[in-house]
Amino acid sequence: MYINAGAYVGDGTMVDSHALVGSCAQVGKNCHISAASQIGGVLEPVGAMPVIIEDDVMIGGNCGVYEGTVVKKGAVLGTGTILNRSTPVYDLVRGEVYRASDASTGVDQPLIIPEGAVVVAGSRPVSSGQGKDWVFPCTLR
């Protein structure tokens, strides 16, 4: 594992083998960063938003949490989940979509994963527009 310059990792946090905590990332206490996960840093580009992982978060193996993402206390990221500020996250329980906002809206906010959330990788079918007629070679039906 590797913890880069300027990163903060709180007490009791375990960073597993082949994991990376990037420059200026902030990881709270009592977290588990599983094998081959990457917590992005913010040395470049200039003005990039930091990655913040709050206390008691479990990040599964081979996850990626990159620029402009905040994972709130007690959340769990399932194996292989990739999050960044351009990732829309669908809340199946509440029927909401979580997104980052950019400066064009007047407020620059990161992607925020709510406290206690369980996030797993997934996708949604394209049901409207040109994409609904496309066939992808790796799609299972």
Rg over alpha carbons for the chain, rounded to the nearest Å, is 16
Q: What DSSP designation does 48 have?
A: P
What residue spans define the domains of the chain? Answer: 1-141
Whole-angstrom distance, CA of residue 75 vs CA of residue 9 = 17
pTM of the model: 0.86
Q: CATH number for 1-141: choose from 1.10.287.130, 2.160.10.10, 2.40.50.140, 3.40.470.10.
A: 2.160.10.10
CA 69 from centroid of its chain's CA atoms? 6
What's the rounded mean pLDDT across residues 26-32? 98
Omega within 30 of 0 (cis) for the link into 45:
yes
Q: Which of 7-21, 56-70, 87-101 has the lowest mean pLDDT?
A: 87-101
**Triad 96, 111, 23: Cα angle to 5°:** 160
